[in-house]
Amino acid sequence: MSRKRKHRDSFRQLMVFVPDTYMDRTSRPIYALVYLLGFILLYELGTYLIDPEALSERLAQPQTRVVAFLWVQNVLEYLGFSPRMIWVATPLVPLVILLVFQFTSRSSWRIHWPDFLPMTAECLLLSVPLIVLSLLLNRTAEITSHAATILSSVLSLARQELWLQVITGIGAGIYEELVFRLILIGVLMLLFQDVLGLKRKHSVIASVLVSAFLFSIHHHVFFVNGRLGMGEAFEWSKFFFRMLAGVYFAVLYAFRGFGITAGTHAFYDILAAFLNLLVFS
């Protein structure tokens, strides 16, 4: 019985820390929920605080949106939610999933509030390797923001454009990690390990590589709102960078949980947007 239970351990349980330490507490789903709540509110409010004309012009086409966010909306629409309910329910989806994970994990619900400041510092620190990797692989006039599916050849960012990139980057950090790590890797582990009968080690490797490939390719071509959409023009350097970034986020998710991973993703996009404006413009 114990062997079967061990075989069915989820991907998110690869690392077990000393109980009630910083690393243990901040890996819990409840910490991810509380930490990302502010990001979700900022993303929702930010999209409505932007000048309506600029917002409609930039966000009218799927390739300028966070595609993973639109996928969540499409699923809710398929389930029969009204447009008004979709607007309310979409930001609740990651919160509800994290609540379910918290219940099933049977971990402590207690929160040590001073942990959130070092969590932010950790996310910022963990985003630095992606900045360096982007500079090495994308030898262009600007850092390529791998997560936000927005216009890729911005030579000069105005304040409005910077705000759009920051808000879109926050949305990408939440919803792309929700789709490609929290959901997709779990589904792939179920497929490779339980359905196909692969060993756990091989299932983990296959799940990480497949999710990273899909994460990268969806920035170039995707299916949303019932039709095929085109994102950035394909370039091997950008594709390879996002593939490596997908692997990086998957490993980070396995060891540090969803909150740190989504926070790192969001902070990478924010830092990339500011560097594009302050340095590369």
pLDDT of residue 149: 43
Does residue 122 belong to any structural domain of this protein? yes
What's the whole-model pTM score?
Answer: 0.86
Q: Indicate the number of domains in the chain.
A: 1
Tell me 193's DSSP state.
I
Q: Would you call 61 helix, strand, or coil by DSSP? A: coil
CB atoms within 10 A of CB 151: 14
Which of the residues in the chain have pLDDT under 50?
Answer: 1-9, 52, 55-64, 141, 145-157
Does residue 1 belong to any structural domain of this protein? no
CA dist 183 → 42, 71, 72, 191 (Å): 23, 12, 12, 13
Are residues 251 and 281 in contact, defined by beta-carbon separation less than 8 angstroms?
Answer: no
Q: Which helix (H) or strand (E) holds 186?
A: helix 184-189
- The torsion angle over the Cα atoms of residues 95, 34, 68 and 165, rounded to 10 degrees, is 150
Backbone angles phi, psi at 221, to 5 degrees: -145, 140
pLDDT of residue 16: 72
pLDDT of residue 33: 96
Does residue 34 belong to any structural domain of this protein? yes
pLDDT of residue 147: 42
Does residue 10 belong to any structural domain of this protein? no
Q: Would you call 84 helix, strand, or coil by DSSP? A: helix
Smallest Cα–Cα separation from 216: which of 244, 189, 190, 191?
244
CB atoms within 10 A of CB 79: 10
pLDDT of residue 224: 84
Q: Would you call 149 helix, strand, or coil by DSSP? A: coil
How is 234-271 classified by DSSP, letter by letter? P-HHHHHHHHHHHHHHHHHHHHHHHHHHHHHHHHHHHH
pLDDT of residue 207: 95
Does residue 4 belong to any structural domain of this protein? no
The burial of 218, by beta-carbon neighbours within 10 Å (0-12 exposed, 13-18 middle, 19 or more buried), is given as buried
* CA 9 to chain CA mean position, Å: 22
Query: Where in the sequence is the domain holding 172, given as residue range(s)?
Result: 17-278
CB atoms within 10 A of CB 88: 12
Does residue 224 belong to any structural domain of this protein? yes
Does residue 6 belong to any structural domain of this protein? no
- The two most distant CA atoms of the chain are separated, in Å, by 60
Strand partners, 88: none
d(CA 40, CA 32): 12
Does residue 5 belong to any structural domain of this protein? no
pLDDT of residue 172: 93
d(CA 261, CA 245): 11
